Amino acid sequence: MKAAAILGTALLAAAAHAGVVLPRQDTTTADSSDGLEPTQDLNDLLEQAKAQVINNVTETEQQLRKRGQTPRCTVKNLVFRREYGSLSKSERLSYVNAIKCLQNKPPRTPTSVAPGAKSRFDDFVVTHIQQTLSIHYSGIFQPWHRWFVYQYEKALRDECGYTGYQPYWDWPKYARAPQDSPLFNGDPYSLGGNGEYIPHDGPVIVPPPGVGGGNISLPAGEGSGFVTTGPFANMVVNLGPVGGLADTDPGPMGGLGYNPRGLKRDLGGAMNMRYANYTTVLKMLLQPNVDKYRIVSEGVPYTPEIGPHGGIHYTIGGDPGGDLFTSPGDPAFWVHHGQMDRLWTMWQALGLGGNRYTDLGSGSYAHRTWENNPESPLAQLTDVIDMGYAAPSTTIGEVMSTTGGEFCYFYL
Ligand SMILES: *[C@@H]1O[C@H](CO)[C@@H](O)[C@H](O)[C@H]1NC(C)=O
Ligand SMILES: *[C@@H]1O[C@H](CO)[C@@H](O)[C@H](O)[C@H]1NC(C)=O
Ligand SMILES: *[C@@H]1O[C@H](CO)[C@@H](O)[C@H](O)[C@H]1NC(C)=O
293-320 confidence digits (pLDDT tens) = 999 999 988 889 999 999 999 999 999 9
Is any atom of ligand 2 closer than 6 Å to the C-beta of 277?
A: yes
**Domains, the chain, ranges and CATH?**
78-411 (1.10.1280.10)
Tell how far the Cα of 355 is from the centroid of ligand 3, in angstroms.
Answer: 8
Q: Whose C-alpha lies nearest to ligand 2, atom 4? A: 280
Percentage, residues of the chain above pLDDT 90? 84
CA angle, 97 then 103 then 106, to 5°: 130
Q: Angle at which helices 278-285 and 307-316 pack, to 10 degrees?
A: 150
Dihedral angle over CA of 22, 27, 32, 34, nearest 10: 80
What residue type is assigned to position 144 of the chain?
A: W
What does the mean pLDDT of the chain come to?
Answer: 91
Q: Which of 201, 204, 211, 215 to mutate to test the pocket of ligand 1 (most atoms within 8 A of CB)?
A: 215
Distance of CA 57 to the CA centre of its chain: 24
Phi and psi of 130, rounded to 5°? -65, -30
Which pLDDT band holds residue 60 (cuts at 50, 70, 90)? very high
Q: Whose C-alpha lies nearest to ligand 1, atom 6? A: 246
pLDDT over 50 (residue 246)? yes
Q: Average of pLDDT values for 218-222? A: 97
Q: Whose C-alpha lies nearest to ligand 3, atom 4? A: 401
Is any atom of ligand 3 closer than 6 Å to the C-beta of 315?
A: no
User: Rounded CA gap, 11 and 17, in Å?
Assistant: 10
Instruction: Please enumerate in sequence order all residues whose Cβ is within 8 A of that of 168, keeping only pairs 6 or more positions apart, or say none.
Output: 81, 82, 83, 84, 335, 338, 339, 341, 342, 411
With CA atoms as reference, report the closest residue to 99 among 265, 235, 234, 240: 235
With CA atoms as reference, report the closest residue to 331 among 318, 342, 345, 349: 318
Which pLDDT band holds residue 245 (cuts at 50, 70, 90)? low
Tell how far the Cα of 248 is from the centroid of ligand 2, in angstroms.
Answer: 29
- Per-residue pLDDT, 366: 98
Dihedral angle over CA of 273, 80, 295, 373, nearest 10: 120
Q: Average of pLDDT values for 130-140? A: 96
Is any atom of ligand 2 closer than 6 Å to the C-beta of 34?
A: yes
Ligand whose nearest atom lies closest to the CA of 304 = 2
Q: Whose C-alpha lies nearest to ligand 2, atom 5? A: 280
Q: Where are the alpha helices (DSSP H) in 240-327?
A: 269-275, 278-285, 290-298, 307-316
Q: Whose C-alpha lies nearest to ligand 2, atom 14? A: 274
Distance of CA 68 to the CA centre of its chain: 37
What residue type is assigned to position 32 of the chain?
A: S
Q: Whose C-alpha lies nearest to ligand 3, atom 6? A: 354
pLDDT over 70 (residue 32)? no
**Ligand 1 pocket by C-beta < 6 Å: which residues?**
204, 206, 214-215, 246-247
Worst-scoring range by mean pLDDT, 21-25, 353-357, 381-385?
21-25
Is any atom of ligand 3 closer than 6 Å to the C-beta of 354?
A: yes
What residue type is assigned to position 215 of the chain?
A: N
Q: Which of 50, 52, 60 to mutate to test the pocket of ligand 3 (most atoms within 8 A of CB)?
A: 60
Residue 349 alpha carbon, nearest atom of ligand 3: 14
Q: Angle at which helices 141-160 and 120-135 pack, to 10 degrees?
A: 180
Task: Give pTM, 2 decimals.
Answer: 0.91
Residues in a beta bridge with 395: 384
Cα→Cα distances 30→39, 237, 282, 347, Å: 10, 45, 11, 19
Identify the DSSP state of 178: G
Q: Whose C-alpha lies nearest to ligand 1, atom 14? A: 215
